Amino acid sequence: MDRSRDALKGVAKELAKDISSGMTLGLGSGSTVATLLEELSPLAMARSKVIKGVPTSTQIEIVAARCGVELVPFKGSVDLVIDGADQVDAGLNLVKGGGGALLKEKIVMGSAKSVAIVAGESKFAEKLCEAGVRVPVEVFPMARESAKLKLSMLGGVPEERLLPKGYPYFTESGNVILDTLFEPIGDPRDLEMRVKSAPGVAEVGIFTIKPITVYRLRDDGSFDSMSESD
């Protein structure tokens, strides 16, 4: 029995309480968000609520359209972002970008009135980058080598993301990804800003945006939530 699906159903019911008709949702990418959207959409429709969504990737655009979400262009702000995470630390800072959509995800998340993150129990750690989790860094192709040098100077070990046959991986924005290993991060916001300041870096997969609510999916099918404000 898939207990994680049970937990996602519970989170969907919780989120549905705060979604009113006409709200615009920022839709993050990945399998967790896709499954959550499949659970959330019928709940909204049952209450005659029309959900508008701004997708951050083609993958989630397809899922959202299938679920009956009205897809709309990004107009500078959204009411609520629903997204997943690759890792969550004790301060509810995140590593994101495993799916390669970190640039669009951070743009949309940075405009949101509220943020809801959903992650499995195994994604939580005391500090970001524990257990060998790497930080995705999205870089303009011209800057791939200079960015590698800058990341190394910041204590990172960058590795360019490749497709299975060894070809370079390109994001939907046409950039490359440097998956970068750091020692467990003591000050995520400082490192986020230092990496972002490197010439040619489009975005870094450290997310320190607040306020935020994180829903932790328990292995037994339950969930709990944690919130953090600035």
DSSP secondary structure, 207-224, as one string:
E--SSEEEEEE-TTS-EE
Q: How is residue 209 written in tokens?
A: 């945006």
Q: Residue for token digits 């916001």?
A: 189
Q: Catalytic annotation on 121?
A: no
- Strands (E) located in the chain: 24-27, 52-55, 70-71, 78-83, 87-88, 94-95, 112-120, 135-139, 157-160, 176-181, 201-204, 206-207, 212-217, 223-228
Amino acid at 121: E
Pick the catalytic residue: 38, 39, 70, 105? Answer: 105
Distances in whole angstroms, Cα of residue 227 to Cα of each of 111, 151, 159, 230: 18, 31, 33, 10
Q: Which residues are catalytic?
A: 105
